[in-house]
Each structure stands twice: as C-alpha cells, then as structure tokens.
C-alpha cells in the first residue's frame, strides 16, 4: 500500500524559507557602518590620532557630496519646456 502526500505551494514556500541562502551584504555598507562607528567613537573620546584619521577618512556619501559640490548645477526648465520635451520624446 502506498500513501501519497500532497503539499500546497504556500506550505512548500514556508518550509523552504529557512534553508534559502542569505542575501549577500555589500562591502560598502559594512565600510560605511564601520566609518560611522569610528566617527562616533572619535567624537566622544579624546584621542587626537583617531580624530585626525576620521577627518581624513570620511563616509563615501559625504565625500561624494563635497567632491561634486563645486560642479555646475543643471538649469531648471519651465513647465512648458518640460511638457514639450516629453511630448517630442514620446512621439
């Protein structure tokens, strides 16, 4: 005698959840987190070497902001110009 067991797709998905591989964390987020923690430690402490290092090694987003701050800004378009550009790109 044979017994046939059926499982719904939802139940199978719940059963597979614990054995799915974990998503990989990017290295940049780990580096940014470490830099942030180091900056907080330097702000609270009296270690001048640590403060100097934190001032040199800035978080990437902040460094990118300062690197691009001096570049020219794009000119703003009027609503009429924007609508005409949109219509010409769609047509």
Digitized pLDDT (tens) for each residue of the chain, 91 residues in all: 788 788 888 888 888 888 887 776 665 667 777 777 888 888 888 888 877 777 776 666 666 666 666 666 667 888 899 889 888 887 6
State both tokens at 31: 């580096």
**Residues 54/38, Cβ–Cβ less than 8 Å:** yes
Looking at residue 74, what is its pLDDT? 62
Looking at residue 50, what is its pLDDT? 77
Q: What torsion, rounded to 10 degrees, do the Cα atoms 14, 20, 26, 30 define?
A: 80
Nearest Cα neighbor of 37 from 57, 21, 17 is 57
**Local structure of residue 54 (DSSP, 8 states):** H
State both tokens at 70: 């001096």
Looking at residue 55, what is its pLDDT? 75
**Local structure of residue 1 (DSSP, 8 states):** -
Cα angle value 41/59/24 (rounded, 5°)? 100
């Amino acid at each position: 005698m044979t017994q046939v067991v059926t499982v719904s797709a939802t139940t199978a998905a719940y059963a597979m959840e614990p054995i799915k591989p974990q998503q990989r964390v990017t290295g940049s987020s780990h580096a940014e987190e470490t830099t942030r923690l180091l900056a907080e430690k330097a702000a609270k402490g009296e270690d001048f070497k640590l403060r100097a290092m934190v001032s040199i090694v800035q978080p990437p987003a902040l460094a990118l902001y300062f690197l691009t701050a001096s570049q020219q800004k794009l000119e703003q378009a009027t609503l009429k110009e924007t609508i005409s550009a949109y219509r010409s790109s769609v047509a």
